[in-house]
Structure 1
Amino acid sequence: MLNPRRIDAVLTGGSAGLSRRAFVTTTVGGAVGLALLPGAVTAQGAPAKPGTKPTEQPLAFVTIAKDGTTTILCNRMDMGQGIETGLAMICAEELDADWSKVRTGFGDQRGEYVDPLFGMHLTGGSNSVKNSYLQYRELGARTKAMLVAAAAQAWGVPAASLTTENGVIAGVGKSAGYGEFFDAAMKLPVPEAVTLKDPKSFKRIGQPTTLVVAKDKSTGAQAYGMDVQLPGMAVAVIQRPPVFNGKIAKLDVAEAMKVKGVKAVLPVTLDRGGQGVAVVASGYWAAKKGRDALKVDWDLGGVAKADTAALTQQYLALAKTPGTPAPKPEFQADVSGWSKAPKKITADFVFPYLNHAQMEPLACTVDLKADRCDVYYAAQMPGLDAMALAKTVGLKPEQVQIHVQMAGGGFGRRATPTSEWPREAAAVAVALAQAGQRMPVKVIWSREDDLKSGYYRPMTVHRAEIGFDATGKVAGWQHRIVSQSILKGSPLEGFGYQKGVDGTTTEGMRDPYAIPMHLSVHHPEVNVPVLWWRSVGATHTAYVMETLVDEIAFATKQDPVAYRIKLMDGNAKADRHRAALQAAVDKSGYGKRKLKPGQAWGVALHESFESVVAYVVVASMKGKGNARQPVLQEVHAGVHCNLCINPRAVEAQVQGAALMALGTTMPTHHVTFKDGVVEQNNFYDMAMPRITDAPKVMTVSIVPSNDPPKGMGEPGLPPLAPALANAVARLTGKRQRELPFSFA
């Protein structure tokens, strides 16, 4: 069934125009145009007046029924991070809505739902609350102002004489619920300027709030992209080549067509130019059995075959040579003094390819008609996807309607710049139509499909050469990173690929520590598709920085907390880092209590997406010899995300991110290649953290602030693994230079 909470907004119409931030690129996977639409402009090119931009239209976001039920649409996709509730809280605060009557839903690919700062449809970069905080406050305030104006007209009184509270307008001896005036209010002009509340008067923002969809999720009533059902719908799976970009040499479909329920077997073009075979059937199991019966010979001639062992040696060798200098000035310090320093560390770090492993595998349902295409899936970038899909099915972008669904996890996997998986689903629908079997079709990726044929966090190698003295003062830090570029060649290249360096590779290096660093990068070309993975570059840069800083503290016999604070001296931008670290220290009792024998402290902190998370952990070891493994006993997090909209959601994000990071340290938690083929198949040979791996104690302390909020979907992940590694180093005497951990 379709999600009963998911509704389509009643829109005011009109299209968004291009502004100064907008740009157009003509390649999405080499075929599709992309336009970014941050807001309307006048015919003369001047910026539109406030209240006239698509992103400022109350009717596109808020609907109030006669009984007061208030639906607030989210301009993003929710994959468990809680932004559907968070953005509704922000809007409801200024609207003075009755929270018990608030419901939520999703927007779509139209201009109303672009990120108001980036000007494109995007759920990512922990930007949802950060970039839409002011937008949703103003949407709530504008809606309330229009409701009050409508009531004032109906009652013949000045608007200033009326008050609002809990979804009710009152004054001059009368009162009425918002639903009574909503239709009339939406016919009034949208105010250009509105007065927003003083944060001191907030009633909803800042209060621990259960997600609007929590009950449905916990009872199984919540529907996801995988759950979409349409009348007459077929289900398809795709047989993909064992090596990326392989093509069909010979295909025998006879046995597959004998499987009961199989309707068609169709060759389709895949992402990046490879070929696959779609098996379309009455249901998933029939489609899978039909695919199992296929006989395919693959043409892998001329296709590069990645090999993890060979790549590791290649990357380690590259890391010893100068790369392309990182363009930021702070990465171009004179570090010639490092070799003359009395103490030195030379360290190589190896990070594997990683699968996103979101709980809900990919699924996309396409209902292709002659003049319209409806697409149902959890879309992270529906605007970009809509144009890619239009190109694929041969329609105009305005003939494509994307119905954004709730996602059961994502971690970046659902945001491929090439619109990979929805385009593949559309290609199946087109092939069906061309074969005379036009029908809605849902293309499902199994866990094995995504693990063996998906996108991955890049394999990455770091090399650090550091010189320092007995006080821990760093004389020079020479650093090189070897990693595939995520952005190069994609429609988003202009956002962060500068002077030959992908900014997602270097993000998180150096700051907040005032140390002289020279950083350069190698971006090798490898036949493995790579993509952002929760917290992107910070997944490896935080680990390298925080374990090396800890190692210097240990080598100079300094307390790891005190040493970090010393390195931040003189950096005014580090106030939030110090506050987050102190919050974690205070809660943990670090320095004030004695641990049990066989336990050790571990400390790390990191800023990503403008939020700071610090961890103080307690760990021990279990097992013997090469079978030893760390046990995470306690985790104490200090968080500085500026104004916290929903403390309960922040706590949940930090807890989830910490456990996800714990998984990266566990044996076999990696993706490896042999002769171009992924060696892992499912969770049974790629370790995932289980509830039994969770720490017995986990606390999250949020530093109070009234400054505009920052992101929290990703920042909880980067510092956990280094904090654990630092504890393990104290327990074993060995520094973990590679993920996952190894005790061989």
Structure 2
Amino acid sequence: MQWAAISVAAARTCASGARSIAPPRRCDMRVVKVSRRDFVKPIGTFVHVGTDGIVTIYVAKSEMGQGVRTALPMIVADEMDADWKKVRIRQADLDKKYGRQGTGGSGSIRTMWSPMRQAGATARTMLVSAAATKWGVDAKDCAVAKGVVTHGSKEATFGELAAAASRLEVPKDVALKDPSKFTIIGKKADRLDNRDLMQGKGTYGIDVRVPGMLYGAVLRSPVFGGKVVSFDDSKAKAIPGVKAVVKIDPHGAEAPWAGVGVVADSTWAAFKGRDALIVKWDEGDAKSETTASLMDQMRDLVTKEGKRVRNEGDVDAALASAAKKIEATYELPYLAHATMEPMNATASVTADGIEIWGPTQFPDWWGGAAGGAVGFTKPEQAKVHVTLLGGGFGRRAFPDVAVEAAILSKAVGKPVKVQWTRADDMQHDFYRPANVQRVVAALDNDGKVTAWHHRLAAAAINTYMGRGEPHESEMFDDEQLPLNVPNVRAEFASAKSYVPRGWWRSVENSSNAFVVQSFIDELAHAAGKDPIEFQLSLIPTGKKIERKGGSAPYPYESDRLRRVIELVREKSNWGKSLPSGRARGFAAWHSFLTYVAEVAEVSVNKDGTPRVHRIVAAIDCGTAVNPDGVAAQVEGAVVYGLSAALAEAITIKNGAVEQSNFHDFPLLTIDQMPVVEVHIVPSTALPTGTGEPGLPPTAPAVANAIFALTGKRLRKLPFGTLSS
């Protein structure tokens, strides 16, 4: 019996409640043989226990290198008291029974902590109940450890109890473990899929093969918002292997690309056919946009009053009476996500619905958008199979490539895999917004900050997406500005840009932390004070800010931010001497409900480029489910943040992106990689995000270190060479 058939059966027979665990699998899309005798009804939605004792956990979040397919099973397995060596994983397809399957906002562990604990505890309760019934004893007198239930001299493995447990009614209320009893959570664990990934057995979207599949490539308007006026496909159709040429219209902000698609019997033939197309474009109004025109627009906006989103005290009076007034303007460019696996998706459209295979962060969005583009509006008409993601960073939330695959599949009546090139990806992204920020602050005679006036101008994500207020996707939270300042004003101005914008790793925090933390360092030096001591003076002790909605359990606590600052000061040897030609810089930031502080140790190369030797980071993310995974996430965030700080920028000329590959949008290379030390604050608090919070402090820590070394302030990203 094929495992694919088993997963279908599981979906049809599971009850709501606990979550699933799976038999060993070679990879997401390949067939694994499983004996019928090993298959029993799943224990709830997420957990399956085979008669061989293998515990299979269904993971309903996307794996893009962050280790979620290990961390979530750890939570379930701990509550189950399962044998970790017998835990396997299965990637869940799109299904409403799993709840919200989107992966973003550093929210997987935070949002799944309680459901996965509940899942494990439910499975454990049912297995113990099955054993107690079998032995005629009270369930509360039974013990469980490493997948074995015992009562006195009696014992039974999970596998021996699985069939009986699966026939029980799923309990509504179960007891969760006291955190002091955790045996798996909080311990370093190797990733469950490491071996498959190292052996090339993991299936990414680019690896998908479907019987009868054809291949698609799309020539998109190079100018944002451009439209197809006409096209000549005669030369394209003459390419051997080309089957069809299809016009593609934009489908809203989520799939904005107009173009012409070529369908062929190989990727190469599709690319060659695309190269042979002759298209006449209507380039529209966007052709007038350049990076220079956008930056000039935003520089002008920050000299004028914008929309006040925060106004406390009397900023004008405090600035007028200041002993010293400090002001600075910061500029940040558009940035591409540059996922290592270029965008791709495979779609099969039939009369009954659409089936999609691909590396998506939001399978429900992909299913809805791609289905809608070909006439299917009901959720049940879209099936989405989530593969491994070769990087996501927010880019793979957007369904544009799935929409293209769906349109081409419908046109030819066969499954079609659309594959983008690196240039496609670089020039048709949803970019991190460019912005300009101007900050003015007042210092009194004692060096205390008495006023903070902040203006931010940006081409906002919300403006592009047509949702919410523009400032809501760009501005900082209250606690991200110094809380011990009595007079604060923050203003926002929305810049006009035709460039598509989207969520880039850490979203607005990547920009705002650079500005706020760089400026605080400027104030510290202006006041003649140590930067860390000065920062601590701006953070009150014992301050708590309550939150609403889903964030209500996670109030901002100033003492936790102070703790990571003090920890990184200790671990980085702050204040102690360094070899000649080196200096340290510091920054701290609270984002995604997590507290991070970093110290960078830098020098300057002979060619004037910064060299980062060491980053020391301290993080408080509540309960660290897998400390090794937390450290890896911070390390990855540092890499991403350093790439952006040192060299990356997307520039626009005549309404189109100038960059096309890594030669002109360079990522951090292994020889540039600093030593990264991650120190995790021990905690039993609810877990919070770790995928993004390590990024925001990186650029300002490096910039502040460069100032300490050279006396030069870097207020524009990327840094480039210090002489430029």
When normalised by structure 2's length, the TM-score is 0.90
1:589 paired to 2:573: yes
Cα distance in 2, alignment partners of residues 347 and 292 from structure 1: 47
1:317-375 Cα deviation digits (max 9, x unpaired): 0111111121xx5x544311113312122211110000001111111111222213211
Cα distance in 1, alignment partners of residues 566 and 265 from structure 2: 58
What corresponds to 1:244 in structure 2? 224
Q: How does 1:504-523 map to 2 (within 5 A)?
A: 504-507=474-477, 510-511=480-481, 513-515=483-485, 516-523=487-494
1:80-131 Cα deviation digits (max 9, x unpaired): 111111111001000111111111122233222224xxxxx32111111111
Contact 1:509 1:541 (8 Å CA) reproduced: no
Cα distance in 1, alignment partners of residues 271 and 5 from structure 2: 31
Select the residue among 606, 618, 621 that pairs with 1:638.
618
Q: How does 1:207-356 map to 2 (within 5 A)?
A: 207-272=187-252, 274-303=257-286, 305-326=288-309, 331-336=311-316, 337-356=318-337
| Shift, 1:393, TM fit | 2.4
Cα distance in 1, alignment partners of residues 359 and 4 from structure 2: 15
* 1:583–1:191 Cα change, 3 Å: same
| Shift, 1:5, TM fit | 14
1:454 paired to 2:429: yes
Select the residue among 501, 504, 513 that pairs with 2:471.
501
What corresponds to 2:672 in structure 1? 693
1:548 paired to 2:519: yes
What corresponds to 1:33 in structure 2? none
Cα distance in 2, alignment partners of residues 6 and 687 from structure 1: 45
* One-letter amino acid of the counterpart of residue 513, structure 2: A
SS of the counterpart of 2:44? helix
1:443 paired to 2:425: no
Select the residue among 690, 695, 698 that pairs with 1:712.
690
Cα distance in 2, alignment partners of residues 242 and 3 from structure 1: 44
What corresponds to 2:127 in structure 1? 147
Question: Which runs of 5 or more residues in structure 2 are unaligned?
Answer: 17-41, 544-556
What corresponds to 1:368 in structure 2? 349
What corresponds to 2:10 in structure 1? 10
Question: Which runs of 5 or more residues in structure 1 are unaligned?
Answer: 17-56, 116-120, 433-437
Cα distance in 2, alignment partners of residues 178 and 211 from structure 1: 23
* One-letter amino acid of the counterpart of residue 484, structure 2: A
Cα distance in 1, alignment partners of residues 43 and 473 from structure 2: 36
1:678 paired to 2:678: no
* 1:517–1:298 Cα change, 3 Å: same
* 1:733–1:508 Cα change, 3 Å: farther
Contact 1:514 1:571 (8 Å CA) reproduced: no
How many aligned residue pairs are there? 677
Select the residue among 459, 476, 493 that pairs with 2:451.
476
What corresponds to 1:194 in structure 2? 174
1:412 paired to 2:394: yes
| Shift, 1:177, TM fit | 1.8
What corresponds to 1:21 in structure 2? none
Cα distance in 1, alignment partners of residues 597 and 9 from structure 2: 40
Cα distance in 2, alignment partners of residues 430 and 107 from structure 1: 26
What corresponds to 1:53 in structure 2? none
Contact 1:5 1:105 (8 Å CA) reproduced: no
Cα distance in 1, alignment partners of residues 704 and 441 from structure 2: 18
| Shift, 1:548, TM fit | 0.6
SS of the counterpart of 2:64? coil
Q: How does 1:541-580 map to 2 (within 5 A)?
A: 541-570=512-541, 572=543, 573-580=557-564
Contact 2:58 2:91 (8 Å CA) reproduced: yes
1:29-64 Cα deviation digits (max 9, x unpaired): xxxxxxxxxxxxxxxxxxxxxxxxxxxx95321111
What corresponds to 2:381 in structure 1? 399
Cα distance in 1, alignment partners of residues 67 and 315 from structure 2: 44
SS of the counterpart of 1:142? helix
1:72 paired to 2:45: no
Contact 2:14 2:43 (8 Å CA) reproduced: no
Cα distance in 2, alignment partners of residues 305 and 148 from structure 1: 69
* 1:303–1:566 Cα change, 3 Å: closer
Contact 1:304 1:527 (8 Å CA) reproduced: no
What corresponds to 1:383 in structure 2? 364
- RMSD of aligned Cα (Å): 2.2
| Shift, 1:512, TM fit | 5.1
* 1:505–1:220 Cα change, 3 Å: farther
Q: How does 1:46-125 map to 2 (within 5 A)?
A: 58-115=43-100, 121-125=101-105
Contact 1:319 1:481 (8 Å CA) reproduced: yes
When normalised by structure 1's length, the TM-score is 0.87
Contact 1:508 1:606 (8 Å CA) reproduced: no
Cα distance in 2, alignment partners of residues 301 and 569 from structure 1: 52
Contact 2:214 2:414 (8 Å CA) reproduced: yes
1:2-34 Cα deviation digits (max 9, x unpaired): 999996682357999xxxxxxxxxxxxxxxxxx
* One-letter amino acid of the counterpart of residue 725, structure 1: A
Cα distance in 1, alignment partners of residues 403 and 390 from structure 2: 20
* One-letter amino acid of the counterpart of residue 622, structure 1: N
Cα distance in 2, alignment partners of residues 232 and 508 from structure 1: 55
* One-letter amino acid of the counterpart of residue 672, structure 1: T
Cα distance in 2, alignment partners of residues 470 and 72 from structure 1: 61
Contact 2:618 2:681 (8 Å CA) reproduced: yes
* One-letter amino acid of the counterpart of residue 98, structure 1: D
Contact 2:592 2:689 (8 Å CA) reproduced: yes
* 1:10–1:4 Cα change, 3 Å: closer
Cα distance in 2, alignment partners of residues 590 and 130 from structure 1: 32
| Shift, 1:238, TM fit | 0.6
1:205 paired to 2:185: yes
Cα distance in 2, alignment partners of residues 380 and 675 from structure 1: 32
Select the residue among 426, 435, 440 that pairs with 1:465.
440
Cα distance in 2, alignment partners of residues 92 and 370 from structure 1: 42
What corresponds to 1:658 in structure 2? 638
Contact 2:286 2:654 (8 Å CA) reproduced: no
1:618-641 Cα deviation digits (max 9, x unpaired): 111112xxx401111111111111
| Shift, 1:392, TM fit | 2.0
